[in-house]
Amino acid sequence: METPIFLLRYDTECPDSEIMSGFLEAVIKRHKAGEIPITLFCTGETLNKRRHEFHTFWDEVRDSGYIDVQDHSYSHIGVGYEESRALAVIQADYQHSFAVHEDVFGKRPIGVALCGVSDSGRRLNGLDEIEKSRQELAMLAYLGIKIMPARLTSIGRGQFCSYAEMGYSDIMGYPSAESDTEWLWNKDPKTALSYVKKVVDEYWELGQHGSLIMHDWCQWQFGSDKELGLVQKIADYIREKGFRLATVSDCYHNETLWRDHI
Ligand SMILES: [Zn+2]
């Protein structure tokens, strides 16, 4: 296998510009200047309420090659749950979000991170588990999504894959696990760092690609400082181990990574 990939991301979902004051500037410093690839999966609501900030941010980073922006629904709505909302409601939510993305970033997203929600019943093991979740996947494919978390029941923890088995050979599945709501929220950043190091070691020993799910609000409120210093330490450890950091778009364009993996 070629060099294993590690995906770092911020699910960017805090619409409150006061709480998040300084975050985007820190992202520019840490990720653009520091050359640490990152994907920001942004909710439409967050972009809508902080349009100017995100527009300015994107102007500054769009050509860097280190920062990718993709979607996280408009209102943080559940997909892949046993009792998710009506399909038309979910579709309208995503369409609304994509329109805001086009407005703020001048481009339509081709990738999504699915939302963890508590109002839609049991989270399914995969999008192929029930008819409703298959319809949700078909809807996202119809809206032009090419980059999705690897959530097929047959894929387990989720490595890079193609959704070909479900009829979407042009959709890439990417690894998505280890949320900072588990390892950083209300915890000491030092404890968080040692936990993350163990996770990184495990991926390496298994010869797997790795991922960490981070959130804008969680890193900003619970990280070690207001400079994303914890993320720097995490990125350094991942690289020392031997992984290559990448954005989801980098991975999508590297077809040998996922085309043959079902
Ligand atoms: Zn989320």
262 in any annotated domain? no
| Ligand 1 center to 13 CA (angstroms) | 6
Q: State pLDDT tens for residues 133-171.
A: 999 999 999 999 999 999 887 665 568 999 998 899 999
What is the tally of structural domains in the chain?
Answer: 1
Counting residues of the chain whose pLDDT is more than 90, the rounded percentage is 92
Find the CATH number of the domain harbouring 24: 3.20.20.370
Work out the mean pLDDT of the chain and round it to a whole number. 95
pLDDT at 105: 98
| Ligand 1 center to 262 CA (angstroms) | 26
| Ligand 1 center to 130 CA (angstroms) | 22
Beta bridge mates, 5: 244
| Ligand 1 center to 17 CA (angstroms) | 17
255-262 own/partner pairs: CB under 8 Å, 24+ apart: 256/2, 257/2, 257/5, 257/160, 258/160, 258/161, 258/162, 258/172, 258/173, 258/174, 259/162, 259/169, 260/162, 261/159, 261/160, 261/161, 261/162, 262/161, 262/162, 262/164, 262/165
| Ligand 1 center to 135 CA (angstroms) | 21
177 in any annotated domain? yes
Mean pLDDT within 204-228 = 97
94 in any annotated domain? yes
Question: What token pair was written down for 103?
Answer: 């407005």
199 in any annotated domain? yes
| Ligand 1 center to 116 CA (angstroms) | 6
| Ligand 1 center to 154 CA (angstroms) | 24
101 in any annotated domain? yes
| Ligand 1 center to 2 CA (angstroms) | 31
| Ligand 1 center to 1 CA (angstroms) | 31
How sure is the predictor about 204, in pLDDT bands with cuts at 50, 70 and 90? very high
pLDDT at 212: 98
Type and span of the H or E element at 219 = helix 216-222
Question: What token pair was written down for 140?
Answer: 């996202």
78 in any annotated domain? yes
Between CA 160 and CA 183 the distance in angstroms is: 23
Q: State pLDDT tens for residues 36-60.
A: 999 999 999 999 999 999 999 999 9
Residue 200's domain comprises 5-257
93 in any annotated domain? yes
61 in any annotated domain? yes
